[in-house]
Structure 1
Amino acid sequence: MVKSKTKHRLAIILPILIFAVLVVFYIANRLYFAHQSLYEENWNMKFPSNMEVVYTTHGEIGFQGDGVRYSVFRCDAGTDDFLKDFKTGKSKKFEKEFQA
């Protein structure tokens, strides 16, 4: 009788535990691999917190997660400081790094 209660409890707890672990991994994956965080990490940029993804697509992705990505973000009010950081002219320092 005790063994059947233990099996019954295990049959209930184990699927719930597996489901909870999967949910935690899913949420962590969505947070870590969010489009904004990928660009921040790869390009060393800091985006405004109120920025949201409007559209995103990517080509074939290799085993290292590389590939062509295209994302369109929308920024609402309060992003003036973020946009002032971009320059419209050439960067001689950047060009020197890639000259042969």
Structure 2
Amino acid sequence: MDTRRYSHRPKALALTSCAVAVEEAIASEHFRVADWCFQHFPARCPGSVTSITALYPFESLLFLREHFPIMFTEAFVAAMREEARSKASPTFGVLAKWLASMV
């Protein structure tokens, strides 16, 4: 998958955290999601998210919908909610709430 044309996108949303939830909840998609996340949202990016809709451009949302539709399913949202509970992570909670609004 050639993602070079998306490399100019803001790296404010630290989706590297998503890879953890994908690995635990939906293993079949983990590698693809994690690979893209680590390319575009390296570990040095902020880990906390206060307003995903403000930080994440619409074009990138369309890219995720096209390439990682599993992120917009009830199962993935449930996994993110569970991660938020088990790790007491506001990042997972905010992401789950945002994704739930898109399902």
TM-score (norm 1): 0.23
Larger helix share, 1 or 2: 2
